[in-house]
């Protein structure tokens, strides 16, 4: 228990600077590098509703991997997802203002996967055009609203969102450390739905989740962890695993650090 409290004290002590250190220029360069070199790459796995993403990407001239990354970051591919701000579906389209602006007048339509993905792609295309192809600014506006984002002004929370989606993009591309390390994972595409998750800890502040994630990844580079937004404005750090051995190893590591894992 003392170790657990010590971990939380460390997280709290370094939490606020973590978001402040996210640099706009670095994010702009990272997203530009993706646009120039990886936008045409194939996704690393077979994702839910992938045909919806492929059609929306083709219709709005957007990379499929980008749309998949936004959906994973926003809803983890749950078509029934609903946020505390009344954002709905795979791409978390706000009801009613944003949805109606995109031509969706019935709330229930946002729970239709392809309709929701098409709306999200249309909105992201609109934002990319507004910000002259700057994907970092477009994503910041996707989260915060275009009226609050400019090249001279990107709030800390919007910078966080851009970096959060970028992390999920690396997973979709298979470039992140948390992409599957199972034998043969690179030889054929695995189904995303075969990936299992166990919540380690839930936070109400994004920076605490981010710091715990970084702490776990540094302490256990052979295990896989991820960070997702959850309902009611919460943020969850989870263990990723595809089999019992991987799960047992990661679980033992977390508990060995003195961090109690939430009950399922």
Q: Which amino acids are annotated catalytic? A: 74
In the block, residue with structure tokens 């003195």? 258
Asked if 146 and 127 count as a contact pair (C-beta separation under 8 A), the reply is yes
* DSSP class per residue in the chain: -HHHHHHHHHHHHHHHHHHHT--HHHHHHHHHHHHHHTTTPPPSEE-TTHHHHHHHHHHHT--HHHHHHHHHHHHTT-TT-B-TT-EETTTTEETTHHHHHTT---GGGGGSHHHHHHHHHHHHHHHHHHTTT-HHHHHHHHHH-GGG-BTTB--HHHHHHHHHHHHHHHHHHT-STTS--STTTTTSPEEGGG-EEEEEEEESSHHHHHHHHHHHHHH-TTSEEEEEEEGGGEEEEEEEESSHHHHHHHHHHHHHTT-PPPP-
Fill in the DSSP letter of residue 43. Answer: P
Give strand pairing partners of 46: 191
**Residues 223-247 as b or e (16 or more Cβ within 10 Å = b):** bbbbbbbbeeeebbbbbbbbeeebb
């Amino acid at each position: 228990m003392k170790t657990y409290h010590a971990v939380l004290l460390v997280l709290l002590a370094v939490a606020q600077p973590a978001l402040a250190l996210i640099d706009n220029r670095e994010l702009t360069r990272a997203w530009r590098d993706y646009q120039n070199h990886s936008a045409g790459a194939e996704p690393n796995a077979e994702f839910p509703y992938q045909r919806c993403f492929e059609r929306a990407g083709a219709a709005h001239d957007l990379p499929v991997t980008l749309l998949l990354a936004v959906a994973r970051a926003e809803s983890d591919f749950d078509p029934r997802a609903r946020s505390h701000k009344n954002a709905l579906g795979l791409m978390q389209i706000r009801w009613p203002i944003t949805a109606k602006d995109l031509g969706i007048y019935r709330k229930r339509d946002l729970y239709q996967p392809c309709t929701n993905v098409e709306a999200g792609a249309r909105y992201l295309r609109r934002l990319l055009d507004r910000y002259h192809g700057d994907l970092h600014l477009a994503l910041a506006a996707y989260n915060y609203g275009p009226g609050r984002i400019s090249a001279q002004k990107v709030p800390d929370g919007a910078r966080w969102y851009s970096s959060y989606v970028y992390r999920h993009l690396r997973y979709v591309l298979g470039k992140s450390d948390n992409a599957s390390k199972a034998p043969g994972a690179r030889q054929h595409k695995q189904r995303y739905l075969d990936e299992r998750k166990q919540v380690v800890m839930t936070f109400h502040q994004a920076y605490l989740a981010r710091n715990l994630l970084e702490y776990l990844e540094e302490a256990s580079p052979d295990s896989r962890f991820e960070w997702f937004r959850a309902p009611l404005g919460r943020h969850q750090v989870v263990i990723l695993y595809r089999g019992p051995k991987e799960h047992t190893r990661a679980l033992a590591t977390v508990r060995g650090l003195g961090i109690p894992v939430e009950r399922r």
